[in-house]
Amino acid sequence: MAETTKVVAKARDRAGKGGARSSRRDGLIPAVIYGDKQPPVMIAVEPKSIERELHKEGYFNHRLKIAVDGKDFDVLPRDVQVDPVTDKPLHLDFLRIGPGSVISVQVPVHFKNEAASPGIKRGGVLNVVLHEITVRTKADSIPEYFEVDLTGLEIGHSVHMSTLAIPEGVRVVTRDKNATVASIAAPTVVREAAAQAAADAGAPAAADAAAAPAAGAAPAAGAAPAAGAAAPAAGGKAPAPAKK
């Protein structure tokens, strides 16, 4: 389980856009704590106490303890609104968690010992299918990450969900109970997949373009008119006979 980080905040007197703008003018980040069948609490967070956490892997499954005017709240991050230009947080949502709270979170997957994989040594490529795995568990049982050991894996070998070490009390939320987490792909397979993707997104083949006649091009000298060519207009004069 990940360590709990303490965040400093203060209560907000006003809700809505006016209160949020007032908090930002004071250099704070407006936020709300909700859930656990209790009324929401409007707060303003000290940026220095949260910005480092925002950029960590697995931010949304790391427990936080928010200190608000002498009272602590155990929470999980649930949403972050950021400025599209500066990328700075504009508003934060936190889910209040109690002793018996059961929640769904995304747990990242880590891979180790790539150098000990014979398949990767021979040019194989680690193809990650699941970067995160959704689990449902109590707040104090959230795994920090799932670890996959690549030692001894050859090209063509796949790692499935059933090989992961799932802690007691943690339930994986998935339709496929033995889904593929990652595989060691052959380098030729990777190149062929990239070539196919380029072909799907590119223009028609040069050979096909060369085979098509230019628009409006006249038939070659001596060539028979195309089948279904238009006849002379009705009442039109026939061509004069050639003089001998």
Verdict on whether the full-model pTM lies above 0.95: no
What are the distances in angstroms from CA 235 to CA 14, 229, 230, 231?
89, 18, 14, 11
Single-letter code of the amino acid located at 107: V
| Residue entry with tokens 């070998």 | 157
| Secondary structure element (H or E) that encloses residue 232, with its range | none
Phi then psi dihedrals of residue 114, to 5 deg: -60, -35
What pLDDT sits at residue 191? 56
What pLDDT sits at residue 100? 81
Q: How does pLDDT run along the chain (244 residues), one tens digit per residue?
A: 556 788 989 998 766 677 788 888 889 999 999 998 899 999 999 998 898 888 888 888 888 999 998 899 999 999 999 999 988 899 999 999 987 889 999 999 999 999 999 999 999 999 999 999 999 999 888 898 999 999 999 999 999 999 999 999 999 998 888 999 999 999 875 456 666 766 777 644 444 444 444 444 444 444 444 444 444 444 444 455 555 4
What gap in Å lies between CA 224 and CA 170, rounded to an integer? 79
Local structure of residue 88 (DSSP, 8 states)? -
Q: How far is CA 106 from the centre of its chain?
A: 12
Structure-block tokens of residue 183: 């595989």
What pLDDT sits at residue 41? 93
Structure-block tokens of residue 193: 């997949």
Domains in the chain with CATH codes: 5-97 (2.40.240.10), 104-198 (2.170.120.20)
Residues 6+ apart with CB under 8 A from 65: 4, 5, 6, 7, 72, 73, 74, 75
What pLDDT sits at residue 2? 54
What pLDDT sits at residue 3? 64
What pLDDT sits at residue 110? 95
